Amino acid sequence: MTGATTSPGRLIVGRETRPKLPPYLKLRHDAGRGRWVLLAPERVLTPDQTAVAVLQLCDGTRTVEEISAKLAEEYSAPVDVITADVLDLLQGLADKGYVKA
Amino acid sequence: MTEELQPNEHCQTVSVDDEPTAGVVGGEDMTAELCARAPIGMLAELTHRCPLQCGYCSNPIELERVNNELTTEEWVSVMRQAGEMGILQVHLSGGEPTARKDLEDIISAASEAGLYSNLITAAVTLKRDRLEDLVKRGLDHVQISFQDVDAENAERIGAYPGATQKKLDVARWVVDMGLPLTVNAPIHRQNIHNVGRYIDLAVELGAQRLEIAHVQYYGWAFLNRAALIPTYEQTVQSIDLVENARERLKGVLTIDMVVPDYYAKRPKPCMGGWGKGFMNITPAGKVLPCHAAESIPSLAFDNVRDRKLLDIWMNSDAFNAFRGTEWMKEPCRSCAFKEIDFGGCRCQAMAMTADPRNTDPACALSPYHGEMVALAKAEAAKPATEFVYRNPRNVTAAMKTAQEPLVPAE
């Protein structure tokens, strides 16, 4: 059902999208708790290892396809599986306003 | 401090922390175990001075005097200690935080300590060059309150002529400077008809986030409740409106909603649990488990002038008073939800039942619940009373207003 809704201004993440983090989102290592955190207005998110690996590659120049290929190589995983996972992760974050293009 | 609606499987939202923090060492028992999690958020009430006089303010009636406020050095030390103990976000609030001439130094200290800084401002006295400087010093996010979308009504509620245009100007500067903007909408019976237009305003301004904050009845708001509380029907309509807008504006605007719990069946998990994820510093340096905690007369609060922040968090009587579930009475003690809502809000239990260990009367299981709902509905059905404006002149009169506790069901 949610797939049917498109609001004007909503970013639909595709293979050609060049995702980046908006400047107000801070990916920071939380040394005290031995993990990464994403800090946003009134939010603290704890991305897992996969999400951190993806977000660190979201620099606004690489496409989703390139990010997925790089991760597939690094983790010796099938690129299709990785791409689907990356798209899902980034769309979820875009819908919360945490990923832009 | 709201929960995300749907956490992604790779990215969880935390409002209260479950991860023990290095250097914050717990012990054998349950309470010590809880302490081992440093809070993730800290509300720093820099001053109680404010150019606005809103009757819905949740500050305590007894406002702190300027000459009791912490010094620059003391706030700088608080920020440093907060960063060291693992706090991640600081909310700079008040009163009006920009009334502090040393806000620049405090924000620099927060930024150096690695804290994500949120400025919660009325914005009526903030100049563009000052905002630019604050951003350079590392300010991360600005939240601006709008008393209504209609200027005339907004300026009556806040008792500040010309406020709306100033707020709009600052909101646009924030967006221009690339900072995320939150529009804060304090909702009550005198502006609840404009929830839809608040949503439009937030989109038009390019805000990243809108807070539809139904007034919570503490401090001045408790005193002014009959001027503020909406009807049950109005409340439900406003919630529906927000839920529809959330779907429509997905990826464009994040809408957080604080609902008025007088009409709820389950109490809010206040502060995500007492002494579990959050601490509050008053203008005079008292450290509170929540910003209304001073309304509980049996508690004594430690001060950052006397003790280290971490020591207060872990060992102070006030933080340990309602930590965990051991303090609970029935019906909380044997309740399946006790680890979920922690019996609701201690301050509301105090205000309405005169015993902070009672179940929050917002809970349908509280013997006071029926009385509370009846009281809310009766007040909302009558014409709104005149505001008692929040200002130092009204403090003395307001302190004398006795509020009788509710009578429980037989």
Print the SS3 string covering chain B: CCCCCCCECCEEEECCCCCCCCCCCCCCCHHHHHHCCCCCEEEEECCCCCCCCCCCCCCCCCCCCHHHCCCHHHHHHHHHHHHHCCCCEEEEECCCHHHCCCHHHHHHHHHHCCCEEEEEECCCCCCHHHHHHHHHCCCCEEEEECCCCCHHHHHHHHCCCCHHHHHHHHHHHHHHCCCCEEEEEEECCCCHHHHHHHHHHHHHHCCCEEEEEECCCCHHHHHCHHHHCCCHHHHHHHHHHHHHHHHHCCCCCEEEEECCHHHCCCCCCHHHCCCCCEEEECCCCEEECCCCHHHCCCCCCCECCCCCHHHHHHHCHHHHHCCCCCCCCCCCCCCCCHHHHCCCCHHHHHHHHCCCCCCCCCCCCCCCHHHHHHHHHHHHHCCCCCCCCCCHHHHHHHHHCCCCCCCCCC
Contact criterion met (CB < 8 Å) for B38 and A5: no
Q: Report if residue A91 sits inside a domain.
A: yes
Instruction: Provide the CATH number for the domain around residue A66.
Output: 1.10.10
Distance between B72 CA and the closest CA of chain A, angstroms? 25
Contact criterion met (CB < 8 Å) for A97 and B24: no
- CB contacts of A97 in chain B (<8 Å) are 208-209, 251-254
- Edge-first strand listing for the sheet containing A35-40: A26-30, A35-40, A43-47, B11-14
Q: Report if residue A100 sits inside a domain.
A: no
- Per-residue pLDDT, averaged over B331-335, amounts to 95
pLDDT of residue B16: 65
Among A11, A35, A38, A43, which would you mutate to test the B interface (most chain B Cβ atoms within 10 Å of its Cβ)?
Answer: A43
pLDDT of residue B6: 41
Strands B89-93 and A35-40: unpaired
pLDDT of residue B15: 67
Domain interval for residue A68:
4-95
Q: Is the pLDDT of residue B239 over 80?
A: yes
Q: Report if residue A101 sits inside a domain.
A: no
Contact criterion met (CB < 8 Å) for B20 and A33: yes
- pLDDT tier at B348 (50, 70, 90 boundaries)? very high
Which of B11, B85, B208 is facing A41, going by the closest CB pair?
Answer: B208
Contact criterion met (CB < 8 Å) for A10 and B252: yes
CB < 8 Å from B in window 29-48 of A: 30-35, 37-48
Distance of alpha carbon B282 from the chain centroid: 13
Q: Report if residue A83 sits inside a domain.
A: yes
Which of B89, B141, B251 is facing A24, going by the closest CB pair?
Answer: B141
- Choose among B71, B119, B44, B61: nearest CA to B287: B44
- CB contacts of A90 in chain B (<8 Å) are none
Q: Report if residue A15 sits inside a domain.
A: yes
Nearest CA in chain A to B43: A42
Measured between alpha carbons, how far is residue B34 from residues B19, B166, B269, B314, B323 in Å? Answer: 10, 44, 16, 9, 8
- One-letter amino acid for residue B348 of the chain: Q
In the structure encoding, which two tokens stand for residue B245, read together?
A: 């807008």
Contact criterion met (CB < 8 Å) for B252 and A7: yes
Average pLDDT of chain A, as a whole number:
87
Q: Is the pLDDT of residue B327 over 60?
A: yes
* Inter-chain Cβ pairs, chain A and chain B, closer than 8 A: 120
Which of A22, A41, A51 is facing B10, going by the closest CB pair?
Answer: A51
Q: How far apart are CA B74 and CA B199, in angstroms?
A: 39
- Per-residue pLDDT, averaged over B29-49, amounts to 77
Q: Tens place of pLDDT for every residue, chain A, 101 residues?
A: 344 445 667 889 999 999 999 888 889 888 778 889 999 888 888 888 889 999 999 999 999 999 999 999 999 999 999 999 999 999 988 888 888 88
Q: Is the pLDDT of residue B410 over 70?
A: no
- The answer to whether B161 and A44 are in contact (CB under 8 A) is no
Least confident of B31-40, B142-151, B253-262, B365-374: B31-40
Among B3, B10, B81, which would you mutate to test the A interface (most chain A Cβ atoms within 10 Å of its Cβ)?
Answer: B10
- Kindly report, residue by residue over B60-79, the tens digit of the pLDDT: 988 999 999 999 999 999 99
The secondary structure element, H or E, covering residue A28 is: strand A26-30
Contact criterion met (CB < 8 Å) for A92 and B15: no
Distance between A4 CA and the closest CA of chain B, angstroms? 11
Nearest CA in chain A to B22: A32
Percent of chain B with pLDDT over 70: 91
pLDDT of residue B107: 98
- Top mean-pLDDT range of B303-307, B321-325, B336-340: B303-307
DSSP A48: -
Nearest CA in chain B to A1: B247
A9 touches chain B (CB under 8 A): yes
Number of domains in chain A: 1
